[in-house]
Structure 1
């Protein structure tokens, strides 16, 4: 949490940053922060990495690098992330416009972009309860998308997310291993990609006093 929502509520991101610093951390590596401003809560160097190249390479190997693919941002706030993936795949961009009547609930108002007859690839930083991604997939299919893939960096998968994803019109859910998944969450349609090589390269560059900017290929 990067801001106060109610009076007398702590800013927990600042507390975690202080705890890590007091524990002796001298530098922090992060991947796809939900709120990038959290970097400013640390008094030590922070390197923010992105999983987009890992996900992009996987989708290219699946043959989703063509004009029949459209990359979809699940909301207006995720456009930069979706645009980066769209450029990697050489695909057009579409945006789901929605409203949130309450936390973890969303309603699709419209979809900006041509998705009819295309393979839609939704990309987000995380999937929590699965409500947004499932609503998005259903709306894409209803508006003419041929098939739907869902991708995210952090598979929180809380509550009834697994049941929702299992029944959703989503062909494959591509996630990374930033959050380990228990066996009961490993659906056949879930593919887990490792971020270990990305972190290893970043650590190597840091120890050699080299720039890690080369790791920011195809990022927002």
Structure 2
């Protein structure tokens, strides 16, 4: 790689990425016209080079996606040798199948667009369903930051017990538990596809005096985790932590978690920093793969 191009959604991690890889970084110029249209300008210095384009698809997601598309178009006009995308948070990844007739597979559309716009490889952090990267017509790398996550948990939790929010995330809980040399389980979760209402139940687990870590890829509204935390405390847990890769925390999510006495929310630095969240850095794990 010759240069890092810092997209409009990379301020909180791009300098660290540049230092970790010892590669020069440049920033995309960005502004919004009075009528709401977006203007992008890429430094001409990237012309003819192999580029790492760093840009997260953070909220408002549609704006982030459109800005990424404009950056890719500008790079194509500059005759870039190779465009390698570091997209730590990939929006629309949860719409990975047709749940109700008439719906799109949103992640399929997004990844196909990125391929068509000239991105040759994509590096991301813990995409919701890794198999959806098959929609990308290039090389893809899905980095699940268990090492960084576990290092932070070790410094904060005593005698932890790891729980995933459903059976689909059980492998995630198992891998984190292995890093922590502890035990794990999962909750039973049922969601009504029409109303979105969720019912939660637990197996017979002994959580008395344990620090419990609820692990998932994304936390958005926080409603499910808040309800789970209340039930976990009722089973005798000492503290409840939430450990995720992406802390969206939409609306009043952080208040819901505080009201449920969640001790700490731990997240990778894939989205803009929010108050009430403790962040761990995934750049070292990314840099290790990029160097290889």
Equivalence for 2:167: 76
Larger relative contact order (Cα-Cα within 8 Å, sequence gap ≥ 6)? 1
In 2 relative to 1, CA 53–41 (structure 1 residues): closer, same or farther, beyond 3 Å?
A: same
* Structure 1: distance between partners of 2:130 and 2:196: 20
Candidates 158, 180, 186, aligned match of 2:275: 186
Alignment of 1:128-207 (within 5 A): 128-181=220-273, 185-187=274-276, 190-205=277-292
Distance 1:192 1:105, change over 3 A: farther
Cα RMSD (Å) of the superposition?
1.7
Q: CA deviation at 1:73?
A: 1.4
Q: Secondary structure at the match of 2:236?
A: coil
Q: Deviations over 1:171-200 (max 9, x none)?
A: 11101111113xxx312xx20112222222
Find 1:126's aligned residue among 212, 218, 222.
Answer: 218
1:112, CA displacement in angstroms?
Answer: 4.1
Aligned: 1:22 with 2:116: yes
Q: Deviations over 1:26-83 (max 9, x none)?
A: 111121111122111112111111011110111123364xxx3211112111111011
Q: Contact 1:95–1:112 (CA<8 Å) still a contact in 2?
A: no
**Greater CA deviation, 166-175 or 105-114?**
105-114
Match of 2:137 in 1: 43
Deviates more, 1:131-140 or 1:156-165: 156-165
Distance 1:62 1:8 in 2: 46
Cα gap change, 1:201 to 1:161, in 2 (>3 Å)? same
Alignment-derived partner of residue 208 in structure 1 = none
- The 3-state SS of whatever aligns with 1:117 is coil
TM-score by length of structure 1 reads: 0.83
- Secondary structure at the residue paired with 1:111? coil
Q: Any stretches of 5+ residues in structure 2 without a counterpart?
A: 1-94
CA distance in 2, matches of 1:78, 1:46: 21
Aligned length: 197
TM (normalized to structure 2)?
0.63
Q: Is the 8 A contact 1:73 1:122 kept in 2?
A: yes
Q: Which runs of 4+ in 1 moved over 6 A?
A: none
Q: Distance in 2 between matches of 1:122 and 1:2?
A: 23
Q: How far apart in 2 are the matches of 1:62 and 1:200?
A: 25
Offset from partner CA, 1:61-106 (integer Å, 9 cap, x none): 3364xxx321111211111101111111111113222322356532
Q: Is the 8 A contact 1:94 1:115 kept in 2?
A: no
